[in-house]
Chain A
């Protein structure tokens, strides 16, 4: 179980704990991640809002670098926005000869070429289809017994490509939460939008969308996410919302591999738990971690 690894820009900055926890969880599950050499930005949502061709060329450059490494492995991507951009490029390269030719024309400037032969997969896809969940429960025991956890998927790991889960009513995190002894919250906000980059340019929109999600999650012990954008929006707007509503209730928000890693006995330091913006020390001491 080895993968080529595309961390993406956020995982080197504001989502560094997602990188730490993904690497340490995959190591615990005996999977080796080989980082794509010299990878660059996937274009995020910015490229497709400015220039259509660039929004294919930027992710395709990374697919070309991955192919150049000559290892016939799937590409694992933890960030949902990176995943979608790389996936879009993979799909376009496989189905649209014209765009494939255009992309390759442009990649000559980087001395690269791309076939689109490697499969791009989100971290949650890899966990839910390649990992035996009993490997986690066997190590975790019932460490998280008594907790209720809200699985929050966001958008772009589910849509528009419905690869590994139901894009309307996702459930792929449930078995993993149960494997730790915790109960997954049964709710209908798991696949709803957090506001994405609107939160940076139109804070009121982010506030409204995150507010709906946090309200629906009220009473849970924690929320788990699989996307740096979702994580940042939930954590950051929770603070503002708490101040406005005069509420001191703060829900700890973890990346899924942080939560699973904790349950499997990986240390909070290794998982970067001190780097989260939401407070989690109370929950950790309650769980005797």
Chain B
């Protein structure tokens, strides 16, 4: 699938290309030593190793990279960042790919994206996370009765211990709504600021060809 095919909303195109250019820039001095792959606790679940991911980024193989599930398994343990002999911020690069995955609503990234969305909506509304409402909304959005049921024993235990409690949802404007909106406005105003045009153009050409 081409990058063009992955981008559902045309207005997202420029932003996503810029984000990809930024991640590419983060790994541009990678020497392909593989220390990141050897350090990753989740590598057995990944279809492409972290080392290979960085190479794919540098070779502009974005569609393959975004269609892989690897970045979705990163659990932010920071071993790769700690050990990278080039001092690259590889965990942050993984997070940047997750940001792109969230924005593109990639199918294989769906459960993580829904989890993050439920979490952030909860924070926007209440300022602090209401764990019970957050998980309930996540499981409802997931529409997977099987997976929801698998959380039931834990949920009951936490309820009995009084560690989570049912609370009436509040419908007000949201404790942090102004702050969240300002961040989004700010980004749409400033998005093109920090990107190297050259890399961005390369991606554009590739997307058009793809």
Binding site for B on A (CB under 8 A): 9-10, 12-16, 39-41, 43-55, 57-58, 61, 102, 105-110, 155-156, 159-160, 162, 167-168, 192-193, 195-198, 200-205, 208-209, 236, 239, 274-275, 277
- Contact flag A44-B127 (CB < 8 Å), given A102-B186, A195-B75, A205-B42: no
Judge whether B157 and A277 touch: CB under 8 Å.
yes
Q: How far is it, in angstroms, between the C-alpha of A194 and the C-alpha of B24 when the chains are bound?
A: 29
B171 CB to closest chain A CB, in angstroms?
19
Q: Which residue of B78, B102, B179 contacts A50 across the interface (Cβ within 8 Å)?
A: B102
Question: Closest residue to B90 on the A side, CB-wise?
Answer: A160
With beta carbons under 8 angstroms apart, the residue of A15, A58, A102, A159 that contacts B123 is: A58
Expressed in whole angstroms, the minimum distance between the Cβ of B43 and any Cβ of chain A is 11
- Contact assessment for A159 and B98 in the assembled complex, using a CB-CB cutoff below 8 Å: no
Binary CB contact string for chain B from 138 to 181 against chain A (1 if under 8 A, 0 otherwise): 10000000000010011001100111100000000001101111
Flag if B129 contacts A196 (CB, 8 Å): no
Of the candidates A10, A52, A208, which one forms a contact with B44 in the assembled complex, judged by CB atoms under 8 Å apart? A208
Q: Give the shortest distance, in Å, between A146 (CB) and chain B (any CB).
A: 29
Q: How far is the CA of A236 from the CA of B5 in the complex (A)?
A: 40
Contacting residue for B163 out of A43, A159, A208, A275, CB 8 A: A275
Q: A16-B163, A52-B95, A105-B186 are in contact. List 13 more A-B contacts (CB 8 A).
A: A13-B163, A14-B131, A45-B76, A50-B117, A53-B186, A53-B187, A155-B78, A156-B76, A167-B78, A193-B42, A205-B73, A209-B42, A236-B154
Give bound CA distance, A159 to B90, whole Å: 13
Q: How far is the CA of A70 from the CA of B128 in the complex (A)?
A: 23
Q: A41-B123, A167-B82, A168-B82 are in contact. Are A106 and B183 (CB under 8 A)?
A: yes
Q: Which A residue sits closest to B130, measured CB to CB?
A: A13
- Least CB separation from B22: chain A residue: A52
Contact between B186 and A192, CB atoms less than 8 A apart: no
A10 CA to B129 CA, complexed, in Å: 8
Mind listing 26 A-B residue pairs with CB under 8 Å?
Answer: A10-B129, A10-B131, A40-B127, A40-B175, A41-B123, A41-B129, A43-B123, A46-B123, A47-B123, A48-B76, A49-B112, A49-B116, A50-B102, A50-B120, A51-B99, A52-B95, A53-B187, A61-B179, A109-B181, A155-B77, A159-B82, A193-B42, A200-B115, A202-B73, A274-B161, A275-B162
CB-based contact A196/B77 at 8 Å: yes
B: interface residue count bin: 35 or more
Instruction: List A contacts of B190 (CB < 8 A).
Output: 102
Give complex CA distance A197, B116 in Å.
Answer: 10
Cβ contact within 8 Å between B75 and A49? no
Residues B20-79 near A (CB distance < 8 A): 41-42, 44-45, 73, 75-79
Residues in chain A near residue B181, CB distance under 8 A: 109
B73 adjacent to A198 (CB under 8 Å): yes
Expressed in whole angstroms, the Cα–Cα distance for A49 and B86 within the complex equals 24
Verify if B9 is at the interface (C-beta below 8 Å from A).
Answer: no
Instruction: Tell me what chain B mostly uses at the interface: helix, strand, loop, or mixed.
Output: helix
Q: Would you list the 8 A-B pairs with minimal beta carbon distance, nearest first?
A: A159-B78, A193-B77, A40-B127, A46-B119, A9-B129, A49-B98, A155-B77, A196-B75
Q: Are A192 and B41 in contact (CB under 8 A)?
A: yes
Most buried by B among A10, A106, A201, A277: A201
Q: Are A57 and B183 in contact (CB under 8 A)?
A: yes
Residues of B within 8 A of A162 (CB): 82
Asked whether B183 lies within 8 Å of A110 as measured between CB atoms, the reply is: no
**B residues near A105, Cβ cutoff 8 Å:** 186
Q: Does B17 contact A (CB under 8 A)?
A: no
Name the residue on B nearest A15 (C-beta). Answer: B163
Pick the residue among B92, B95, B128 that contacts A41 (CB under 8 A): B128
Q: Which residue of B lies closest to A276 (CB)?
A: B161
- Cα distance, A101 to B92, chains bound together (Å): 21
A136 to B91, CA, bound (A): 37
Bound: A164/B91 CA distance, A: 21
**Counting CB contacts under 8 A, is B6 at the interface?**
no
Would you call B206 an interface residue if the criterion is a C-beta within 8 Å of the partner chain's C-beta atoms? Answer: no
The distance in angstroms between the C-alpha atoms of A105 and B183, with both chains bound, is: 9
A143 to B173: give the CA distance in the assembly, Å.
53
Min CB–CB distance A187 → chain B (angstroms)? 16
